[in-house]
Amino acid sequence: MIPDAGQMSILRDYALRLLADNVPFQRGDAKYKEIVETTGWRKTPDNPGTTCGFLCHWLMWKLGVGDPAILNWTDASRKTKFVVGANIDKIWNKGRRPFVQVAEPYAKPFKQNPAVNMLELGGSMGIGGPQPGDSVFIREPGGSAGSEHVFVFRRSRKTAAGVEWDTAEAGQDHGTDGKLKTRTVKFTGNFRGYTQITGNTPIRTIIGWLDLSQVDYDPAGLQAALKAAATVSV
């Protein structure tokens, strides 16, 4: 089921509170164990992957998402299952809805972006774009897999330097830890251009974001999240 507007407002507020309560975290602490190791995945010398996607999927699970094509988390009641290495792929969803794609991730940049960049249409004015709790996918288009990263969007604001995004991100220090960060979005004003974002070297391009308001939710999971949101103190 798709939440209505009122339910989404509650869920997005709850997402911000969950992030505030659980990020930052470090490898080995209780928050890390819940967000990452609950899945059964462990970082080892033979399994050196990053944890960036775990925070995104943990948050979706807490909010009641139930689509097996999107949620990479084992929950028998929702018929979802964690698959190693699928965190980013499930968020991207091959560029299909509920993912909002504004750039092709696996092709070198063209002179003109083949995709209509919906972020450029209104993002520089704070209109449209990701909303609190949405997962954002960034990458070097056509670059190595090592340039891929996902994080949770918290809020945006206009500053003298441009538009800043506050984020919650795993896969940070040592490829494991979680941090609250701020990135600057480099808008061009061209809806057939590419939008870059600071915070990595070399700079990354925004591929798009997973719109939580368009994801299929598990009815029982959604009701549990709404109930939990109502009991969280502000």
pLDDT digits (tens, 9 = 90+) for 6-28: 999 999 999 999 999 999 999 99
Domain of 33, in residue numbers: 5-231
Q: Number of structural domains, the chain?
A: 1
Rounded Cα–Cα distance for residues 57 and 93 (Å):
13
Q: Kindly state the average pLDDT of the residues 74-100.
A: 97
pLDDT digits (tens, 9 = 90+) for 175-206: 999 999 999 999 999 999 999 999 999 999 99
121 has pLDDT over 70: yes
Which residue's entry shows tokens 């505030």? Answer: 20
Strands, E assignment, 128-215: 135-139, 149-159, 162-169, 179-186, 196-197, 204-210
Rounded Cα–Cα distance for residues 176 and 217 (Å):
28
How far does Cα 130 stand from its chain's mean position? 9
* Confidence bin at 124 (pLDDT 50/70/90): low
Rounded Cα–Cα distance for residues 118 and 129 (Å):
7
Q: SS3 for 89-107, per residue?
A: HHHHHHHCCCEEECCCCCC
pLDDT of residue 48: 74
131 has pLDDT over 70: yes
- Cα angle: 25, vertex 31, 35; to 5 degrees: 100
Q: What is the pTM of this model?
A: 0.95
Residues forming a β-bridge with 153: 167
pLDDT of residue 122: 79
